[in-house]
Amino acid sequence: MMKARPSLLVLFCLMLLSLPTRAFEPFVVDDIRVDGLQRISAGTVFNFLPVKVGDHFDTRESELALKALFKSGYFKRISLERDGNVLVVKVQERPAIASIKIQGNDDIETEPLLESLKDIGLAEGSVFNRSLLEQVEQELERQYFSRGKYGVKIETTVTPLERNRVGILIDVSEGVVAKIREINIVGNTVFNDKTLLKQFEQSTPNFLSFYSKDDQYSKQKLAADLESLRSWYQDRGYIKFNIDSTQVSITANKRDIYITINVTEGEQYRVTEVKLSGDLVVEPEKLFPEFRISAGDVYSRKEVTETVTLISDQLGNEGYAFANVNTVPDINEDTREVTITFFVDPGKRVYVRRINYAGNSKTRDQVLRQEMRQLEGGWFSAEKVERSRARLQRLGFFEAVNVETPAVPGTTDQVDINYSVTETPSGSISLGVGFAQSSGVILNGSITQNNFLGTGRQLSTSIDTSAVNKVLSFSYTNPYYTLDGVSRGFGAYARKTDADSANIADYSTDAYGTNVNYGFPISEFNAINFSFSAEYLELNTGDNPSKEITNFMDDHGENFKSVAMSGSWSHDSRNRRIFPTSGGLQRLSFEAQVPKSELEFYKVAVKQQRLIPLTRLFVLAGKADVAYGDGYGDFDSLPFFENYFAGGVRSVRGYKDNTLGPQDDDGDPLGGSFRTVGNLEIVFPPPFLQDSQSVRLSLFYDIGNVFDGYDDFQTSDLRMSVGLGGTWISPMGPLSVSIAQPLNDKRRDELQAFQFSLGGAF
């Protein structure tokens, strides 16, 4: 009897399936009629129906017809009947979806969710299929589980409506995020739990968890943490380290998670020998400096991986773009020693067929080609390809520069290099209003084209007015005046400066001048620049000039014509102009008035900047700036209107602009001939704008001051401050903001905790 039951069940099911179709003798179909249609056209039914007028119709054809119509998904009931020689198809359509409403979903936005439902066929106007709705429930649960909400409840309600339609309501009760209450590591004896758990991204709740969300369990994050744990051991010689098992348990209320990790540490291994073998197409002397691990070291998977990468890069720079470097470790378990062999398979040497550009709709190809360090027809060099990309980024014409090196189809020794760029507006006509605490209201208007007619040349005219400066200027620069990359530029300006409005002594100057400059690249990162200028300057006193000013004018007059020459050497390896994240800048510059000019003085300055990426988001930036000037000939000191100043947003923050250093007999800042300023910052994007290229925040430490001369320099006189700063490259110009706390201010110092400047030079 027990064996007969399945057969009876199958027979019963077959009887049920046969009910919708009326038994009939085989016949030839003279016509086909469809009954029961509401929204779906008869033509749609005929498209799916594998029976045509004139066909012989029997039981087998009936089964095929039912399967085809049910497979269409449009009908929930179908029956086939015979009326004479007419085949009658009676159908009951599935309802259409009139509306889909989702409520209670705070973590997952409604619009993207509706779009994803539409992609699987669950959308307003489509045929309702309950199996799809069940899939949606399962996928929603999976997404909430990935967010740590294991107590989520999803209820779907299907409400029948008139005209064979339904309304769907998806009600989500998200619940609370399950928190990791405990992470246990079992089997570790060499390193304690505290040390190992520091390697994990996930942790038990702490005072920063509300922001970092590191106490929320994620299966993907746990997998990453286990890999970090494995790397920690293998980077310290424990080659045989193994994660035996991992248990994740959740409490009945779905709120607390406990993680247990069972490990076997094994023994520590040391490297007894390092070998290099294979097809050594590059001299071993070029590859050995890339080794990060040597005999006697504790085995480290990280050092081995870095060595493989560096050897591959070196081979890539020699043209072997598809080189493979494999490590073959020979482990002696008795002595706990490892012999490491780096096996080199260079493949064929590769050369570049073409260099292509895309996205530069305004900038001419020639402008991009001028920056190329990798040449067509030459051996491929990964270093030159990347350097070319960096030079394009430094032009300032492109928001992003990407590069691909696909192999040429049908070849094994050729590649194309494809640079794709996203252009930024390189020209602007603007009228703006700015404000700086030291300068007051700034009205400015400018016409600037940094990429004039797509040639890479810069053309600019501008008008700026403020309480301190009123400037009318024109400039033009051709960065490729010669094919060798020699640049040439020239300009003219008229400038009126009111020093008293800038927290300086009571005087003003009117200056008119013109200049021409040349730049000469002497290597990939080094350049020298020369400039020649002529200027007429008129010195005016205020209502209450100080003794220092009147004495100078009595000795030298108030009108000066001068010719000056200046030059600089720079080593610039920064990866971009604005907000660089790596590299550095060293610059040595000088300026001197030509002898027999009506002004005779010189200035020298040294600037050092270094950027060290700490993580993907954080950059350590250090900067030092030392400058000195003096007079010669008839001038026994630097003219006071050429003095250096310090204090403010761009030097030592927390102290009022230009107020540090020597003062005149009226107690107003007069500046000095020797300045030293240093800054140390940790720069990072705002947490809510991590992908922004126009906003940066920083934690800073500033130090510096101005002195009458280098003989007067005293480290005890250096002023220091710490604080938080921010810069936004706004449409009106750079907006710099800082909140600073002076650390060693003196009685006469003028403090200013909050400082900002909108507009002006960046």
Question: Encoding tokens for residue 518?
Answer: 């040349």
pLDDT tier for residue 287 given thresholds of 50, 70 and 90: confident
Q: What is the mean pLDDT of residues 165-191?
A: 89
| pLDDT at residue number 200 | 92
Q: What is the mean pLDDT of residues 289-316?
A: 90
Q: pLDDT, tens digit, for every residue of 27-41?
A: 888 889 988 887 788
**pLDDT beyond 80 at 17:** no
Yes or no: say if 627 and 644 are a contact pair by the CB < 8 Å rule: yes
Q: pLDDT, tens digit, for every residue of 119-151?
A: 777 888 778 877 788 888 888 888 888 777 888
| pLDDT at residue number 20 | 46
Residues of the chain with pLDDT > 70, as a percent, come to 92
Q: pLDDT, tens digit, for every residue of 521-540?
A: 998 889 999 999 999 999 88
Distance (Å, whole) CA 689 – CA 729: 14
3-state helix, strand, coil split of the chain in percent (to 5) is 20, 45, 35
Q: pLDDT, tens digit, for every residue of 91-101?
A: 888 888 888 88
**pLDDT beyond 90 at 188:** yes
| pLDDT at residue number 426 | 59
Question: Does 451 or 600 have the greater pLDDT score?
Answer: 600
Distance (Å, whole) CA 245 – CA 187: 11
pLDDT tier for residue 112 given thresholds of 50, 70 and 90: confident
Domains of the chain: 19-93 (3.10.20.310), 96-173 (3.10.20.310), 179-264 (3.10.20.310), 270-345 (3.10.20.310), 351-423 (3.10.20.310), 427-758 (2.40.160.50)
Yes or no: say if 356 and 368 are a contact pair by the CB < 8 Å rule: no
**pLDDT beyond 60 at 511:** yes
Q: What is the mean pLDDT of residues 405-414?
A: 90
Q: Would you tell me how many other CB atoms lie within 10 Å of the CB of residue 380? A: 24
| pLDDT at residue number 10 | 41
Yes or no: say if 264 and 185 are a contact pair by the CB < 8 Å rule: no
- Nearest Cα neighbor of 280 from 323, 239, 245 is 323
| pLDDT at residue number 466 | 67
**pLDDT beyond 60 at 741:** yes
Average pLDDT, the chain: 85
Q: What is the mean pLDDT of residues 72-76?
A: 80
| pLDDT at residue number 758 | 64
| pLDDT at residue number 417 | 94
Q: What is the mean pLDDT of residues 291-309?
A: 91
Question: Does 347 or 424 have the greater pLDDT score?
Answer: 347
Yes or no: say if 107 and 147 are a contact pair by the CB < 8 Å rule: yes
| pLDDT at residue number 731 | 62
Residue with tokens 């409840």: 153
Q: pLDDT, tens digit, for every residue of 151-162?
A: 888 888 889 888
Q: pLDDT, tens digit, for every residue of 371-397?
A: 999 999 899 998 899 999 988 988 878
Question: Does 690 or 243 have the greater pLDDT score?
Answer: 243
749: CB partners within 8 A, 6+ apart? 655, 659, 660, 719, 742
Residues of the chain with pLDDT > 90, as a percent, come to 38
| pLDDT at residue number 700 | 96
Q: pLDDT, tens digit, for every residue of 641-666?
A: 899 999 988 899 999 888 898 988 88
Q: pLDDT, tens digit, for every residue of 588-645?
A: 999 999 988 899 999 999 999 999 999 888 999 999 999 999 999 889 999 998 999 9
Q: Would you tell me how many other CB atoms lie within 10 Å of the CB of residue 401? A: 21
Question: Encoding tokens for residue 720?
Answer: 């220091």
Q: pLDDT, tens digit, for every residue of 415-443?
A: 999 999 988 765 544 444 444 444 444 44
